[in-house]
Homo-oligomer: A and B are copies of this chain.
Amino acid sequence: MQDHFAHVQCSDCPIRHRAVCARCDQDELNRLEQIKYYRSFQAGQTIIWSGDRMDFVGSVVSGIASLTQTMEDGRRQMVGLLLPSDFVGRPGRPTAAFDVTATTDVVMCCFRKKPFETLIAETPNIAQRLLEMTLDELDAAREWMLLLGRKTAREKIASLISIIVRREATLHKRKTARMLTVDLPLTREEMADYLGLTLETVSRQISALKKDGVISLEGNRHVSIPDIDRLLEEAGDDTDGGMLV
């Protein structure tokens, strides 16, 4: 189980064209291959503790991990959602600044930190891709700041759902004209931690969106969206229309 990915070649890797290694040529891949190893984590398991010494960096290969920050009295804020191909860790810093937790079962492609750092210094294709990914994450973090600082609970829920829909759409780019559906990868509590709400408010607002026909639910996790524009409107984002899919 643990070794399911142990012998996957980079060239066969599902995140080959999106991860930090996306621009590497075969030669560079070979060098990465030498310092990489896979690790598996069960849902709920902590991958990295904030403040811990980081001896590796890596990419999420499958599953979903979350980046969270906790205050002394227990208040928690999720500050990032890590999907397949997302990068974990910070070259040039010895300790982790946030907790990283496996939200689902997770497989990570890890690189020992020191060798990876020297590789970065020598491999512009990796450094540039990492810069690009980091800039993307920064933009995403700043959009999230608008959500946390200014949006209502209802808008927050609608925003979260539309972001999940968008990510689904970019990953498996199926242009089914049918009704959009997604599975929420998070519990109500995790959504609350992500949105800066309580789990009760999350539940209430989901019920309200359902009652108003913006979404419909089958079970607790499966969401259908009859009218994506309506959802985007509820999210309070610029409604410049169907840039989705």
Chain A residues with CB under 8 Å of chain B are 67, 69, 71-73, 75-77, 79-80, 90-93, 97-98, 120-121, 124, 127-128, 130-132, 134-135, 137-139, 141-146, 148-150, 195-196, 236, 238-239
Contacts and interface: CB of A to CB of B under 8 A. Distances in A.
Contacts of A196: 148-150
B90 A142 contact: no
A164 B101 CA distance: 31
Contacts of A236: 71-73
Tallying the copies of this chain within the complex gives: 2
B145 A77 contact: yes
Nearest to A71: B236
Contacts of A124: 121, 124, 127
Contact of A71 (B77, B127, B150, B195): B150
A150 B75 contact: yes
Contacts of A73: 236
Given A121-B124, A131-B130, A149-B196, A141 B143 contact: no
